[in-house]
Structures are given as C-alpha cells and as structure tokens.
Amino acid sequence: MSDDRFISVQNISKHFGAVRAVDDVCFDIRRNEFFSLLGPSGCGKTTLMRMIAGFEEATSGDVHIDGQPMGHTPPHERPVNMVFQNYAIFPHLTVQQNIAFGLRKEKLAKKELNRRVEEALEMIKLPGYGPRAAHQLSGGQRQRIALARALIKKPKVLLLDEPLGALDKKLREQMQLELRALQKSIGITFIFVTHDQEEAMTMSDRIAVMSEGKALEVGPPAQLYERPTSHFVADFLGSMNFFDGRVLKAEPGMALVETRELGHVRVLSDNAGVVPGRDVIVAIRPENIAVSTQKPKGDINSVKGRVDTAAFLGDRSNIYVMVNDGRDTVLTVMQNLGGAASRIGAQSDDIWLSWNDKAGILLPATAR
C-alpha cells in the first residue's frame, strides 16, 4: 500500500432521490496529509465526509483506507474519527469526563486513563484543565476539548467538518495555525471541510475544490490559485478578472487572443487544444495587473483606461478601471506603498494597465 494512496476515494456517489449530493468523485489522500474539501454550501462536502466516516452509505463507489475497502464497515470499526461543527460537548460534565468519553469503550485502568487525558490536554494547550466544568469554557476552548476527545482515540484519520465555523475571526485564525501545527506534530491524516477559501489555503497541503457534487480540481493551494483549469475554481479562489476572447494565433507555449475589453492579449498556453478561431476565457488576477500614469515601454500587454472607483483598504486599494471607452471595468489591486495606491486612486487622467504574458490564464469557454 503506497503512502500516496493512504485514502482512496473511488468513483463515489450519493443520491438523495433526484439530488446528486456527491457525483462520481475520485481522489487519493496521502498519509499524514492535511487535505481539505472546499466548496460553497450544499456542494456535497458533508455527505462525502460522512461516507468516508461510514455514517452514510454510498449509492455507488467506495473508499479504501490504508489499503482496505471500507464497503459496509460501520463507523466505529473504521480507523477514523470525526469532529463536528456543533461540537457535542456535555455541559454538565467536567473537561476530564468529556475527553475520557472518547475512550469509554476501552476499559482502561484509571491511572492510564488520566495519563491519556492529560496527554490530550497538553496537545490542545489546555494542560491542567481536567477538573473544570465544561460549561465554564469559551467557544474556542470547547472546540479544543472536542478535538481532544477525538484525538485521544489515536485515529489514523481525523475528519473535521467546519470545526471552526462557530468561532469569531481572530480566534478562528489563531486556531487555524494551531490545528495545522498540531496535525504536523502528531502525524495524523486530517480531512478538513470548509467553505472558506482562505481557511483552506492557510491550512492545507492539498485541496479538493467541490461544486455541485463534483470534485473539480485537486492540488496544492498555490497551484489551484495560480494555474486553475476551470472557471469555477478560478472564480472561487480569490478575485479574478474574466475576459471573453477568441484565439487569433497559437504558437508553441503562447497564444494571441482577441478580447473585447483589452484588445489583443498574449497568454501562456500549454494546451494543445488551443487553435485559431476557438472561443476562450482569459483570466487575470487583479494583483498581476500593474497601474501606471505613463504608457509602459517595451513589449508588454497593456491597455489605456480611467479610474472608475478606488476602494481604500489601508495596506492596499482595489482600483476599478474603465477600459474600452468606458464600456468595461477591470479590477486591479495595488499595494499602498508610501501612499501610491491612494494617489493612483485619485487620478482623473488616463492611466495604463499592463501585465506580462505569464499573468493570463487561458480557460475553455465551455467551462463557464
């Protein structure tokens, strides 16, 4: 059994009547990987997770864990444990009793049990909290206890379904870094569900982006962000400008595309299917478009425009620029170094947008 295919999701589907909650999903998860399922609400993340855990029976397909097909294996016989968003902490019990609940079936001697609980409390950075009443804890602490209760059973795989969803932003960001560090230090495979793209990118080794029951793309965060291959993923991660275009010229590694908004654009292309006459979408990240008051020199893609609006965000500004005689808008983002972004934002004369050949991403027009 290779560590690259520690968990193998094989053509798994789940239909609820006419709803294809999960639709023929395939991917492999590596041993000790932090793997996230990312997608909007209703795209099938929880259903897929529940099938991996054994709480939901697949309509077709199967999951293999550590080389074993799971088939009808009930949840408690799978080497997985699950932490839910609405962490089921018992408020009338102590922290110690809540965590020990995870081991109730193992009939451990009291001394060993206490040792395991304390070990788990140290992992979640709440040493000595055992005697406290659970209802006295903050939301963040309660979520840590839920985590400890799952970790104490030493599962090979921990499934976390939007575990930070109930926490406020600051605490959530802190817990993201802690969870990631914890996962790396204990060496358990994590499958993490979230609808928050920044959360997924912060924490994950790899992400599966889901939409309408399908896993559209699987890869490391930077790859999905920089080289998406579908309109949905390009749009879902970060901000993106999309331009409809038609291929004029296709050379090895490079295509010349005619767009309404930007005129002619040179785009990197490693796609053999890109041929003259083909309708395509050119996608460009706002941060890859430079703004200048002078026409850029040299052989670079550029277009003339005027500032429409500028949203000042402190460290940077989102600058919306009208192009094509005011008929279209392009979003750029500019770092506010020494007030540069505020000066450009206040500019009323013509400005220039420019970007290099590597900035454009060529997507199939049918992917929209």
Ligand X SMILES: Nc1ncnc2c1ncn2[C@@H]1O[C@H](COP(=O)(O)OP(=O)(O)O)[C@@H](O)[C@H]1O
Contacts to ligand X by CB under 6 A: 16, 19, 21, 39, 41-47
CB atoms within 10 A of CB 219: 18
Site string for Mg ion, 1-40 (x = CB under 5 A): ----------------------------------------
Task: Give the torsion sign (CA, 179, 185, 188, 190).
Answer: positive
| DSSP-derived pairing of the beta strands 34-38 and 189-194 | parallel
Give the residue with the Cβ less far from ligand X, 129 or 192: 192
Give the shortest CB-47-to-ligand X separation in angstroms: 3
Give the residue with the Cβ less far from Mg ion, 37 or 330: 37
46-54, 166-174, 265-273, 348-356 -> range binding Mg ion (CB under 5 A): 46-54
Give the residue with the Cβ less far from ligand X, 39 or 221: 39
Give the shortest CB-14-to-ligand X separation in angstroms: 8
Partner that binds at residue 185, options Mg ion, ligand X, none, CB closer than 5 to 8 Å by kind = none
**In this structure, what token pair is assigned to residue 75?**
């949840």
Interior/surface letters 320-354, b for 16+ CB within 10 angstroms, e for the rest:
bbebbeeebebbbbbebeeeebeebbeeeeebbbb
Give the residue with the Cβ less far from ligand X, 37 or 179: 37
Give the shortest CB-143-to-ligand X separation in angstroms: 18
The C-alpha torsion from 361 through 219 and 48 to 78, rounded to 10°, is 180
Site string for Mg ion, 215-254 (x = CB under 5 A): ----------------------------------------
Q: Does 269 bind Mg ion (CB under 5 A)?
A: no
- The DSSP output letter for 74 is -
Give the residue with the Cβ less far from ligand X, 45 or 116: 45
Give the shortest CB-48-to-ligand X separation in angstroms: 7
Give the residue with the Cβ less far from ligand X, 120 or 215: 215
**In this structure, what token pair is assigned to residue 81?**
């444990």
| DSSP-derived pairing of the beta strands 60-65 and 7-16 | antiparallel
Alpha helices in the chain (DSSP H): 45-53, 95-100, 110-123, 139-151, 169-186, 197-203, 221-226, 231-236, 340-345
Give the shortest CB-115-to-ligand X separation in angstroms: 37
Q: Does 301 bind Mg ion (CB under 5 A)?
A: no
Which amino acid is present at 128?
Answer: G
Give the shortest CB-20-to-ligand X separation in angstroms: 8
Q: Does 47 bind Mg ion (CB under 5 A)?
A: no
Question: Could you say which of 36, 46, 143, 176 contacts Mg ion (CB under 5 A)?
Answer: 46
Give the separation between CA 133 and CA 93, rounded to whole angstroms: 6
Give the residue with the Cβ less far from Mg ion, 165 or 296: 165
Q: In the beta sheet, which residues pair with residue 22?
A: 14
Greatest distance between any 2 Cα atoms in the chain = 78
Residues that bind Mg ion (CB under 5 A): 46
